[in-house]
Each structure stands twice: as structure tokens, then as C-alpha cells.
Amino acid sequence: MPPESNPPQIDALIHEPARLRVLALLASVEEADFMFILRSTGLSRGNLSVQMTKLENAGLVTLNRRLDGSRARTCYRLSTAGTDALRTYKKTVRQLLDALPD
């Protein structure tokens, strides 16, 4: 990246550490329920709930609520838009890092 060019802009929605952690996890599985994401990320229930709502509202994840026996289960998947956004984010971060001096 030439010094006179503008650096690429990082997607702030994805760049937030908790959301990035969730998206990276969802990129590695077909589907994950709330409790799996909770245990895997180490986030609090409240924080995870807020982050999942933001990701869903942005169209980066989809959710499916269903009954598992007598209890409700909420499962999440990375949407096509989420996969594309994460791929773009990865490319942008690589460009920024590659522009750093050794």
C-alpha cells in the first residue's frame, strides 16, 4: 500500500473483540447454540446476548429458536453476508498489517 493512499477501513462492527470472537467461532462450525457460544467465548450471558442481537440486526448471523424436548434452544449460524463480511475484514486487516514496516 503506497504511503499516499488511504488505508483501508476496518469494519468496526466486526472489529469489536467480543463480536470478532463470536464470528470466528461461528465460521468454524456449521451451527452453535447459545450455551456453546457462551462457554467457548467466555463472555457473560448479558454481553453475549447484546452482541448476538447486534450481529443478527446487521445480518451477519441468523438464529433459529426451537424446542429441544421441553426447553427452548437458540442456535446461530454465520449468514452468507456474515461470511462475506468476515472474509473482507480478514483481507483488510492483512493489508494493514502488510503495510507495517518490518
Quick: pLDDT tens for 8-64. Answer: 899 999 999 999 999 999 999 999 999 999 999 999 999 999 999 999 999 999 999
The arithmetic mean of pLDDT across residues 75-92, rounded, is 97
Using a 10 angstrom Cβ sphere, with 0-12 exposed, 13-18 middle and 19 or more buried, the burial of residue 22 is buried
Cβ count within 10 A of residue 61: 24
Q: Give 71's strand partners.
A: 68
- Comparing 4 with 45, the larger pLDDT belongs to 45
- Comparing 70 with 38, the larger pLDDT belongs to 38
Q: Output the pLDDT for position 61.
A: 98
Q: At what angle do helices 17-27 and 80-98 cross, to 10 degrees?
A: 120
Distance CA 102, CA 99 (A): 9
Distance CA 102, CA 97 (A): 10
Position 77 pLDDT exceeds 90? yes
15-93: CATH class? mainly alpha
